[in-house]
A and B are shown apart, each in its own frame.
Chain A
């Protein structure tokens, strides 16, 4: 396993999510949590203890869960619909399209254990299609925070944003990367390191791996810019164009299929606005084998050293 992953201060972003949710719940009696027998996996036990009547557990029924969320919003409540990401997005996709996005219902969809957090449970439980499924929907910002600080900031933002959004969270521990007090801005990437040879872009559990890869590259005399791009929709066009202008090549990495996710969203900008060589790392369009999330990320070439190698190969393709 990559050493970066065994670093001491790894935090579970679900804790940051529920800490903010519980505070919002205390401040605003309209805040409700909706779930599908997922009180434990969504860490809603504290919310349930504090506001038992505002914890709406519909049972194992995701389509109903999302529809109920839309109705709660219509009735003036502020619902956070929380479920394992594969079932929230995959099972209830049409409800998300029609009841949430098309109806522009003020519902915050919170996908827990996204990516390959449920690695050993197999492809039914891997949520590596959810960027693709959700980012094609109008009205629905898609956000994958990289650490606890950005998670808390994004939940704060979501509570005041007057429309739906999809927050894609993991349960896999990540180190704190953004400064304390960070304010989330929709569609704005954060530059975590500057460089002129290549730009590494990631979000969620991959951002810290990119920083580590950049360190390895620095040791080889290669200067990499690192962008954390939590917002997959709307994509930060300006940051992508600047990355091409300043570094001439972009490598992306995501806990998602290489089809239709963050890399694809960036590639759409690159081909239209600033053609340049790109490398998209992720799960290469297959159903992944059994194994832990960390094992699978390494398996698919997203260990920091492998990312550094891929970045060097990409740089060789410039001009």
Chain B
């Protein structure tokens, strides 16, 4: 899929995500909007995945470590054919398999359960190491939040990945500059991320993570070391009044805000 088409798909995913959060009355919309362009590029261009055969051993692996943005993953998986699109309307409902964090036991396409932050990258290191041990060519991608990078487990995994020479591993950090309660800068500022990753032996690419023309080449890059894409994004991207506002980490739009947001995300505005 080319850039224009990817942008159109991303906008459709944003709309469906917004509706799901609005109807469920809960969700993590800010971090979903920042991540959706990258999720779209992964599932509609970069990843070699088979919706009809989700457990195919040769598939590329993707781990959404920032599991609180599960709704965006569910919508992406639905649009890509892993689960029925109608099922999105069960998000957070009693007994739905679409709870607030992705469940690999129930949802095809989900590789491992996330929700507690700082779990996805170590698991991804194990996946990439398994591909190496098995001489396989599939690749592993993992997306973390930037606040999530405060978890020490990530840095243990970063050291291991470099030591193991995992050139088949790509870490995408959704660098939207906000966490749950405040800006990173006012909590525990990790920026700049590049020198930290480089010091640990990784190759780093910095991109605008809401610009498809920068996302695709960064994700398709192949090097000789573990690769980190520092994706500079906007929390709430695409919805003007949510953008870069910390309270939209998990706020839910009211009816009027929902209408405004839907208008901003409308097809013809492209």
A residues near B (Cβ < 8 Å) are 37-41, 57-64, 86-87, 90-91, 118, 120-122, 124-125, 289-292, 295, 299
Q: Are A124 and B116 in contact (CB under 8 A)?
A: yes
Q: Are B116 and A91 in contact (CB under 8 A)?
A: yes
Stretch from B94-102, B131-139, B202-210 contacting the other chain: B94-102
| CB proximity of A30 to chain B, nearest CB, Å | 24
The residues of B that contact A63 with a CB separation of less than 8 Å are: 152
Interface of B (DSSP majority class): loop
The reply on B114 being an interface residue by CB < 8 A is yes
Q: Are B151 and A60 in contact (CB under 8 A)?
A: yes
Partner of B115, one of A61, A121, A295: A121
Partner of A58, one of B68, B97, B188: B188
Q: Are A39 and B101 in contact (CB under 8 A)?
A: no
Give Cα A291 to B92, complex, Å.
Answer: 7
Q: Are A124 and B95 in contact (CB under 8 A)?
A: no
Q: Are A124 and B181 in contact (CB under 8 A)?
A: no
Partner of B150, one of A61, A124, A290: A61
The residues of B that contact A60 with a CB separation of less than 8 Å are: 117-118, 147-148, 150-151, 179-180, 188
Q: Are A59 and B179 in contact (CB under 8 A)?
A: yes
Give Cα A64 to B150, complex, Å.
Answer: 10
Q: Are A290 and B151 in contact (CB under 8 A)?
A: no
The residues of A that contact B24 with a CB separation of less than 8 Å are: 120
Q: Which of A37, A60, A291 has the most CB of B within 10 A?
A: A60
Q: Are A291 and B181 in contact (CB under 8 A)?
A: no
B residues near A (Cβ < 8 Å) are 24, 26, 67-68, 92-101, 103, 113-118, 147-148, 150-152, 179-182, 187-188
Q: Are B182 and A87 in contact (CB under 8 A)?
A: no
Q: Are A120 and B147 in contact (CB under 8 A)?
A: no
Given contacts A60-B118, A63-B152, contact A120 B99 (CB under 8 A): yes
| CB proximity of B122 to chain A, nearest CB, Å | 13
The residues of B that contact A292 with a CB separation of less than 8 Å are: 94
Q: Are A121 and B99 in contact (CB under 8 A)?
A: yes
Q: Are B101 and A86 in contact (CB under 8 A)?
A: no
Partner of A37, one of B94, B114, B152, B180: B180
Q: Which 5 A-B pairs have the closest CB atoms?
A: A59-B188, A124-B115, A121-B100, A122-B99, A59-B150
Q: Are B94 and A291 in contact (CB under 8 A)?
A: yes
Given contacts A59-B150, A59-B187, contact A38 B180 (CB under 8 A): yes
Q: Which of B68, B100, B148, B179 has the most CB of A within 10 A?
A: B100
Q: Are A291 and B115 in contact (CB under 8 A)?
A: no
| CB proximity of B28 to chain A, nearest CB, Å | 10
The residues of A that contact B93 with a CB separation of less than 8 Å are: 290-291
Partner of A125, one of B94, B95, B100, B151: B100
Partner of A61, one of B68, B100, B151, B182: B151
Smallest CB-CB separation from A44: which chain B residue?
B181
Q: Are A61 and B95 in contact (CB under 8 A)?
A: no
Q: Which of B114, B152, B179, B180 has the most CB of A within 10 A?
A: B180
The residues of B that contact A295 with a CB separation of less than 8 Å are: 94
| CB proximity of B174 to chain A, nearest CB, Å | 14
Q: Are A122 and B187 in contact (CB under 8 A)?
A: no
| CB proximity of A296 to chain B, nearest CB, Å | 9
Partner of A122, one of B103, B147, B148, B188: B103
Beyond A37-B180, A38-B180, A125-B115, 5 extra complex contacts between A and B, CB < 8 Å: A40-B180, A87-B116, A122-B103, A124-B114, A295-B94
The residues of B that contact A124 with a CB separation of less than 8 Å are: 67, 101, 113-116
The residues of B that contact A291 with a CB separation of less than 8 Å are: 93-95
Q: Are B99 and A37 in contact (CB under 8 A)?
A: no
Smallest CB-CB separation from A289: which chain B residue?
B95
